[in-house]
Structure 1
Amino acid sequence: MIFDKLKKFYIVFDSPEVDTPPVFANGDVVSGKVVLELTGECKVDSLKFHAKGLAKVRWTESRTAGSSSAYTQTYSDEVEYLNVKEPLLQPDNGEMVVLQAGRHEFPFSFQLPEETLVTSFEGKHGSVRYWVKVKLHRPWATVRKIKKEFTVIQPIDINTPALLAPQAGTKDKMARVWYRNFGQVSITAKIDRKGYTPGEMIPVFAEFDNSTSRPVVPRASINQIQTFIARGTMKQKRSVVAVLCGDAVAPRCRDSWQGRAIKIPPVGPSILQCRILKVEYILRVCVDVPGTSKLSLELPLVMGTIPLHPFGSRTSSVSSQYSVNLEWLRLAVPDRPEAPPDYNTIVSDDEAEQNTAPPQGVEEFSGMLERPLQAFVQEFRYRPPPVYSEVDPNPQPFYMRPRCMTC
């Protein structure tokens, strides 16, 4: 039977690391291969390849009147980011291709668009997905299809002026009188910057002023907001991803947080460039006020993929290059010059005595001037050098050139 001849049919992406799924960004080249393992001879009409990227949203809203639904409205929309088609195996003359038993590999390769893509995402009312689909057409057989998704992450560098700017705000609220809790509660909060990456700690600086007659409890949380847009209608889903609880603030008292840290859990990056789908984050600082609704202050956050550099992206690269240059200089020029070797370690005692001994037959100083020049050279050749010292034994007087006043 035909079905028995097709043993395996799957897709493999090229990955630099074994057992690690590849992750791509805009402009990257996606490559891999389609593998067919046959147990016998098989005729193939064509093998077609299709790569696609799609952002899609969909939800349903119902309006009820009593026990029955008055109407049901469905909202949906989609945006295409990738669409690549090519035949991996298709004869030009219209005849079928006969594949023998064994393993057959068909490589594929395509480049992602250079323009901004949207990060892969799975939400309650929408998703952003990228996949590769292959169809195998054979005579008198059902079309076999295989599909494999791959991940795309649009880089977000938080080392930009907009994301490095501090975020701050102030908010106050009056408590209700009928609950015997008259007074005002105010919040002032600040964070160092707007952009962070998962795993970082956010130091929260806040001040809570409780002028009511009841204690209040401050809290901080990181919230994710998923926004889905279709046909002029918006649907949102909010979820809390991290919480920080503080101590109660007594009545007529004030308390402050001097950098209380809240850790960012592993969450997906922000999605801000899609027309129908957005993923945003906020830091919410709130106070539970008895007898009234919560007083909350929201500061915007952006979850990036490129972490913070010590001095920003551009200055960091310059500083790293400068440090490399300093290291090269440090290796090339020693901190302190080495002292010259000892004379005794180079010339033996016998050789020194032999070369420094005066020539035979010369006893008086008056006859030294009559000797040939070579004798003086031999006499001073193996004499030890002066004692090494870092202090100049003959310092030159310091002279400063007078400055011309007319220049």
Structure 2
Amino acid sequence: MVPKVKTLGIVFDEDKGGYCGGETVSGHVLLDVSAPLRMRAISVVARGCARVSWSEGPGSPISPIHSARTPAWQCPSSSHGVGGELQYLHAAQTLREATGSGNQEGFISLPAGKHEFPFSFQLPQGPLVTSFSGKNGSVHYWVTAVLQRPSTQDQCVHREFPVISHIDVNSPALLCPISTNKEMMVGCWCFTSGPISLSAKIDRKGYCNGEAIPIYAEIENCSSRLIVPKAAIYQTQTCLTNGKTKTFKQEVASVRGNHIASGTTDTWNGKTLKIPPVSASILNCSILRVEYCLAIMVQIPGAKKLRVELPLVIGTIPYNGFGSRSSSMSSQFSMDLSWLTLALPEQPEAPPNYAAVVSEEEFEQHTPSYSQSEELVRELGSPVFAYIQEFKFQPPPLYSEIDPYPVHSEDPPLRVEFSIGHLNA
């Protein structure tokens, strides 16, 4: 027998990358039936919760259906292992329902074909926890459509939607530079070979997916061993419930440096490490936290790694490039004009030499004597060089000159023309 319900599905009106607190989630429940159908009601339920679960040992295993990676609507409650749940959203809405006054039999008859039932609900005000799926903890938001029919088990369909809690990396707390340093002596007892020191710094604490982190570091190797530096981004998932804590840490990106020989120093002047597509930091959930750090470490043969960690926050609103929003306009204006002092020359450029375009005899004939130069200074009241400085940024004019003192010979007079284009000041 061909089933009467061909399709039962949920479609959202907007295909968004993430909904925020206070926004409206709307869509339609699609129902396609191959023959006339009797139903009692059709409704939707919107839910959202954070879940954590893990096993404490061999004696309390958790079956795969209770894994935190599984959507919450597929995870019934269980006493196996450790688990906890925190609800953020619960909203129900009846889209179509049979009433006693309108239909004595208590059901609605739908003709064959496709039917749409619109729904809409508003998310709670304030920031919600970002959707996440981890090893021992998860945050899911979903809509369930329920079709109720007489003498038949209820038919359900689920559709998940993403929620995001925005983190602005332009906040002052995330724009501060972070630095640290550490030193370790290699060897033991009287067989020490020397210290290895590491200092590292990043420009700010907050970054977004796809950004490259410039790393500034200095590694000094005073030991007798060949060492290798490395930088890596680590994600730490922390689950808390019933006074117990479970931590899972994994590396999400890394970059290696060059080998550093004994007695040498290596400097990272902005070595970049790109952030891969990862979940944003979760800092506002009481049972699940997702945190990041940048670890710079030195691998030492035959010894423990020298390691420092700088905290990171992966946000959702990218860096705008203007620093802290509380910075004054005057300081920003002075920064933008700082290039002007570098563009102005301290000394004016020397004018072209007249001797380069005329003969030596003509140059000596028209060069004024020392007494004439002193007389010109007395008339101007200041050295001629002062007047040259006053017009040092003005371009020379266009001119054409004919030699007024041609050399008498059989050859025709030489015509010399100069054309100097205007130069940008």
Tell whether the structures are fold-level matches, with TM greater than 0.5: yes
The answer to whether structure 1 residue 212 and structure 2 residue 219 are counterparts is no
Residue 145 (structure 1) aligns with: 156
Deviation of residue 297 (structure 1)?
A: 0.3
Deviation of residue 188 (structure 1)?
A: 0.5
- Structure 2 residue aligned with 1:81, among 88, 94, 114? 88
Q: Which has the higher strand share?
A: 1
Structure 1 unaligned spans of 5+: 65-71, 323-407
Does the aligned pair in 2 maintain the 1:13–1:22 contact within 8 Å?
no
Residue 10 (structure 2) aligns with: 11
Residue 238 (structure 2) aligns with: 227
The answer to whether structure 1 residue 60 and structure 2 residue 41 are counterparts is no
Counterpart residue identity of residue 89, structure 2 = L
Aligned positions of 1:147-162 closer than 5 A: 147-162=158-173
Q: Structure 1 residue runs of 4+, over 6 Å off?
A: none
Q: How far, CA to CA, are the matches of 2:121 and 2:323 in structure 1? A: 34
Does the aligned pair in 1 maintain the 2:175–2:324 contact within 8 Å?
no
The answer to whether structure 1 residue 114 and structure 2 residue 125 are counterparts is yes
Q: How far, CA to CA, are the matches of 1:212 and 1:10 in structure 2? A: 66
Secondary structure, in 3 states, of the residue corresponding to 1:142?
strand
Residue 265 (structure 1) aligns with: 276
The answer to whether structure 1 residue 166 and structure 2 residue 177 are counterparts is yes
Deviation of residue 255 (structure 1)?
A: 1.7
Residue 361 (structure 2) aligns with: none
Secondary structure, in 3 states, of the residue corresponding to 2:193?
coil
Q: Quick check: 20-29 or 76-85, which moved more?
A: 20-29
The percentage of aligned residue pairs carrying the same residue is 45
Deviation of residue 314 (structure 1)?
A: 4.6
Deviation of residue 134 (structure 1)?
A: 1.2
The answer to whether structure 1 residue 125 and structure 2 residue 133 are counterparts is no
Q: How far, CA to CA, are the matches of 1:74 and 1:173 in structure 2? A: 41
Q: How far, CA to CA, are the matches of 1:145 and 1:313 in structure 2? A: 50
Q: How far, CA to CA, are the matches of 2:197 and 2:7 in structure 1? A: 66
Counterpart residue identity of residue 192, structure 1 = D
Secondary structure, in 3 states, of the residue corresponding to 2:174?
helix
Deviation of residue 22 (structure 1)?
A: 5.1
* RMSD across aligned positions (CA): 2.3
Q: How far, CA to CA, are the matches of 1:51 and 1:179 in structure 2? A: 68
Counterpart residue identity of residue 92, structure 1 = T
Secondary structure, in 3 states, of the residue corresponding to 1:4?
coil
Q: How far, CA to CA, are the matches of 2:16 and 2:280 in structure 1? A: 18
Secondary structure, in 3 states, of the residue corresponding to 1:89?
strand
Counterpart residue identity of residue 90, structure 1 = E
Secondary structure, in 3 states, of the residue corresponding to 1:299?
strand
Q: How far, CA to CA, are the matches of 1:221 and 1:173 in structure 2? A: 20
Cα separation, partners in 2 of 1:88 and 1:262, compared to 1, 3 Å? same
TM-score normalized with structure 2 length: 0.68
Does the aligned pair in 2 maintain the 1:62–1:73 contact within 8 Å?
no
Secondary structure, in 3 states, of the residue corresponding to 1:163?
helix
TM-score normalized with structure 1 length: 0.71
Residue 20 (structure 2) aligns with: 25
